[in-house]
Structure 1
Amino acid sequence: MRIITGLVTAGMLSLGLPLQAADSGFNLETVNPEADRLALQAFYQKRYPGVAIDDYVNGIYALDAESREQWEEIEEFPPYEFSIEEGEELFNTPFANGKSYADCFENGGVGIRQNFPYWDKEDGTVKTLEFAINECREDNGEKPLKWGKGDIARISAYMAWTSRDNVFDIQIPEDDSRALQAYLDGKKFFYTKRGQLNLSCANCHLQGSNIRIRADLPGPMLGQVTHWPVFRSKWGNLGTLHRRYAGCHRDSRSKPLKPQAEGFRNLEYFQTYMSNGLVVNGPGARK
């Protein structure tokens, strides 16, 4: 663990990123999202010079050849295939009032995954795709779906499938400082240590990526959010990104936030912005 922590510290210094949430770099006057994104890409290009930036949408499979071979075999018969079909049926099933999910989203909800999460200026908050799905339900008199897995993951998987190969271009509105603050809060969350093991997200997914922790190889931060929702072999079913966030907290012996809590939504906002320029390739399959 000391080796991993040391590498992470070196990595953050090379990126010019603050080490602690309390550092002066974590404020609205100095934060520069685009500089953060370009620095992250440069960091990985230097560390893995043979890996194309576009391949980071495949997570650890962009870095580890043995893992990639196993994953490609799984992808021949994707375990999420039936979930996409079920999600499509759910998406097209009318609500009791006769309307459907298509009425809530631009372009009828097709091919729009790359636009999430986004800053909602009117409500003053970050809205993820799953958040918007349940908001749509409630606006039409339906009960919200349970977060994390089940129908909400299936609907999200279908919407991601219709958006494959679309490029992420998450915006941080310049005319609303609250949006930049949400990005900054997500950045703080990523680099702040927590839990009994005193780990941050960065400990495993920045310099700790592709360094074995027991039997696992943590994936890189770049592209980490592009392939969700995911069918994990460990779960035996499909799950959302926030389900994984909660699992990471438990793995580090930290009390997780509830799925779709503001802190998790801001974290997703930060991470997705950092993957701008990459494409949607969800739903995905992971160990």
Structure 2
Amino acid sequence: MTRVFRRLLTPRWLGALAIAVLYAVGAYHLGHWQYGRHEFKVERNALLDAHYRADPVPLTDVLSDRPVDRAADDWTRVSATGTYAGSQLLVRNRPNNSVFGYEVLAPLELADGRTVVVDRGWVANSERGAAVVPDVPQPPAGEVTVVGWVRPLETTQDKTLPTGQVASISLPDVEQAWGRDVLDGYVVLDTERTPDGTAAPRPDRLADPDRSLGPHQAYAFQWWMSMPVGLLLIWLGIRRELRDEDPDRPLKPKKVRIWDEEDY
């Protein structure tokens, strides 16, 4: 063991040791990062369990002029009654069940005059190409009661798009497109009914939120388990180097090939 330690103190192996230690530190932090992603998804699923199938609460109890509290109010099921007032907006390049198309936004004006963004669903790209806007079901006229889930608004991508289209569901984009202030959050539509109880035609429902935990926990354990690999390789390398230098080590018998035996 003393010989191994002495060889480790040589410049060559000290450099290898430094690399191994740096790798171990990096693997430790990468493992914690992956485990943090795992814990985030666990907390997200707990939030979905509490909110997604719950009885709806009044929309104005959750949405206001302040951003949605992601830790407490994201995916809260809400209801609101109002009137669709304004043209619909199409959000480009949005996937739904692994197919890309448009999400359809409509401004719902509440009785108190405030406006909330309602994501009514999804439509596929036009068969005539991206330059042609697809047919989109129009929102019902008159009073309508919507039930859906609260989501925080997104960050603007600051892109110039054709009239009636936006790149993200962001506060500046929708306010500029509609020319009116909106509450800081939006509602993913679940149901939409008029006073007589009928449901109007609507875009396709958005897929349920992803509840998979992914491989993050496994990746975290893999990173942590790999931390001593560099040190183990150094130990094995030094042992082999010392063994090869030992003059008293037994020599391996020379292998004789079959065709060499036939020469005798």
Which band: TM-score by shorter chain?
under 0.3
Q: TM-score, normalised by structure 2?
A: 0.26
Higher helix share: 1
Higher strand share: 2
Q: TM-score, normalised by structure 1?
A: 0.24
- Structure label with greater radius of gyration: 2
